[in-house]
């Protein structure tokens, strides 16, 4: 699925400060490298249904094995393994006798301490991989996981690691054995060891995804074969909302355009981002926040949510809105399956102009049956003229006023909202009183 940086930013998938983002919430990896690999996984949307299902199966198998997951490999262990190769130390003896071990400790005390400490973590590192291979030894392994495990098996099948197999802990090794293990790993196994670091990063990224599926009770969506795009979901919600209200969503060829209205703060933007984020997560093999979800494989997703002006280029907000719509039309004219998300179209011009521009764009987009559209707007007036089109569905978020207080249900209802509550919000926040007192 093709997706650009603007859409990822609009959906809050990543955030430069890492405080509010879907990625940050779902990152339950145990190592720094695992988190880095997870970011790569998130940035690499899968292209085929087979690839997606294989990742889903990988996560499901890891969830099944989670209670028996090896605990030997920690973030600290990985860091020590990497730093071992950068540490300047005296030559470690290859097969030291008890006397040679004592001599090395006596003459190179600090180096001896670093080497034996590193050997302990290298032991744990290899032990963790041995246990991983054992953990999955009797299973039908999905292709992505099998590829990684086969490479791990090829790398760690060394006679020098029989000592790791025979002992439960490095504490059971003599100092001479630790030096011998450290010598092999430092002088004869560097590239293999660094390759294992990379391989474990991918294992840990999948582990983090699986842990997130469990922690947040996500479900794996079902991908269906269909010539036209489809999204059907029940109980869909946004991961970043603390107390979310869920939605039911149904978009297909018969009704491929959702016209969404409602007052400010009623929930329109959250709904749009909920759908977009779930479709994105589905396409990387991740679980989604819903009770049930079924969808087709999409060729691309584009959003028009947080458009900004460009002072350096002298481009206005409205100009950039127009350019974003122009680029969107160019993209989705290829006959492929696209999901298009538009929040408050043409905010950068006056109401009358915005109504005319919005009607023109919507009527044009309605001709494109190969894509699905969700568009929110305050311009409820244009809805009446659009009712003549059979493939448009009208939904709104209801807002009620009780004793001059706004109450948002966040429930999606059929129809068009004509709420105008901007002044009430201005008054409720005390701005009107402040202005009167000037």
Q: Which of 219, 226, 178, 263 is nearest to 370 (CA)?
A: 226
Looking at the chain, the whole-number percentage of residues with pLDDT higher than 70 is 94
Q: What is the pLDDT of residue 312?
A: 41
Q: Is the pLDDT of residue 315 over 60?
A: no
Instruction: Give the model confidence (pLDDT) of 190-235 as tens digits.
Output: 999 999 999 999 999 999 999 999 999 999 999 999 999 999 999 9
Structure tokens at 322: 């127009």
Domain ranges of the chain: 31-215, 222-436
- CATH 2.30.30.100 assigned to domain 222-436? The reply is no
The predicted model gives 50-62 an average pLDDT of: 97
* Residue 404, pLDDT score: 66
Q: What pLDDT does residue 434 have?
A: 82
Can you give the pTM of this predicted structure? 0.91
Instruction: Indicate if the alpha-carbon torsion angle 65, 71, 76, 78 is positive or negative.
Output: negative
pLDDT of 405 higher than 90: no
Class of domain 31-215: mainly alpha
> What is the pLDDT at residue 17?
56
- Average pLDDT score over residue span 115-123: 97
Going edge to edge, which strands form the sheet with 405-414? 2-3, 300-304, 338-343, 371-376, 257-262, 392-402, 405-414
Instruction: Please report, rounded to a whole number, the percentage of residues in the chain having pLDDT higher than 90.
Output: 74
The per-residue pLDDT for 324 is 87
**How far apart are alpha carbons 53 and 72 in whole angstroms?**
29
Task: Identify which has the larger pLDDT, 70 or 138.
Answer: 70
**Angstrom distance (rounded) from CA 186 to CA 231:** 53
CA–CA distance, 375 with 260 (Å, rounded to integer): 6
> By the 8 A CB rule, do 338 and 332 touch?
yes
**Nearest-5° angle of CA 93, CA 99, CA 100?**
15
pLDDT of residue 107: 95
Whole-angstrom distance, CA of residue 146 vs CA of residue 137: 10
Place of tokens 């996560």: 59
Q: Could you give the angle at which helices 190-215 and 75-84 cross, rounded to 10 degrees?
A: 160
The C-alpha atoms of residue 246 and residue 412 are separated, in whole angstroms, by 9
128-137, 168-177, 302-311, range with the lowest pLDDT: 302-311
Query: Using 50, 70 and 90 to split pLDDT, how confident is the model at 422?
Result: low
Cβ-count burial of 329 within 10 angstroms (0-12 exposed, 13-18 middle, 19+ buried)? middle
Structure tokens at 162: 């029989």
Q: Average of pLDDT values for 64-71? A: 92
pLDDT of residue 274: 96
Residue 334 has pLDDT above 80, yes or no: yes
CA distance 99 to 176: 9
């Amino acid at each position: 699925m093709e997706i650009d940086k603007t859409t990822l930013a609009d959906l809050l998938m990543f955030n430069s400060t890492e405080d509010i983002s879907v990625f940050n919430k779902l990152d339950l990896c145990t190592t720094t490298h695992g988190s880095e690999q997870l970011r790569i996984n998130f940035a690499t949307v899968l292209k085929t249904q087979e690839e997606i299902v294989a990742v889903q199966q990988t996560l499901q198998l890891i969830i099944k094995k989670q209670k028996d997951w090896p605990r030997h490999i920690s973030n600290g262990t990985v860091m020590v393994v990497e730093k071992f190769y950068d540490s300047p130390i005296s030559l470690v003896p290859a097969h030291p006798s008890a006397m040679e071990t004592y001599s090395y400790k006596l003459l190179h005390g600090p180096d001896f301490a670093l080497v034996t400490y590193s050997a302990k973590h290298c032991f744990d590192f290899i032990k963790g991989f041995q246990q991983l291979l054992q953990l999955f030894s009797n299973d039908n392994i999905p292709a992505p996981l099998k590829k990684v495990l086969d490479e791990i098996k090829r790398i760690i099948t060394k006679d020098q690691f029989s000592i790791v197999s025979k002992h439960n802990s490095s504490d059971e090794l003599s100092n001479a054995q630790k030096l011998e293990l450290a010598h092999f790993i430092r002088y004869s196994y560097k590239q293999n060891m660094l390759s294992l670091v990379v391989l474990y990063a991918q294992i840990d990224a999948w582990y983090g995804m699986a842990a997130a599926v469990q922690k947040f009770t996500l479900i794996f969506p079902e991908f269906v074969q269909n010539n036209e795009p489809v999204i059907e979901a029940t109980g869909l919600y946004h991961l970043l909302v603390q107390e979310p209200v869920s939605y039911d969503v149904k978009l297909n060829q018969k009704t491929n355009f959702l016209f969404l209205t409602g007052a400010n703060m009623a929930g329109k933007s959250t709904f749009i981002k909920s759908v977009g984020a779930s479709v994105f997560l589905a396409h990387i093999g991740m679980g989604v926040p819903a009770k049930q979800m079924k969808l087709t494989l999409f060729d691309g997703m584009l959003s028009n949510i947080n458009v900004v002006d460009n002072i350096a280029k002298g481009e206005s907000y409205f100009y950039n809105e127009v350019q974003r719509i122009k680029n969107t039309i160019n993209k989705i004219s290829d006959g492929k399956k696209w999901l298009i998300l538009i929040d408050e179209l043409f905010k950068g011009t006056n109401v009358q102009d915005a109504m005319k521009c919005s009607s023109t764009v919507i009527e044009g987009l309605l001709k494109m049956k190969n894509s699905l559209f969700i568009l929110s707007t305050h311009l409820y007036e244009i809805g009446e003229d659009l009712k003549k089109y059979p493939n448009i569905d009208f939904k709104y978020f209801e807002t009620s006023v009780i004793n001059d207080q706004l109450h948002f249900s966040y429930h999606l209802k059929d129809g068009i909202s004509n709420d105008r509550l901007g002044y009430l919000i201005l008054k409720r926040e005390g701005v009107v009183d402040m202005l009167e007192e000037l």
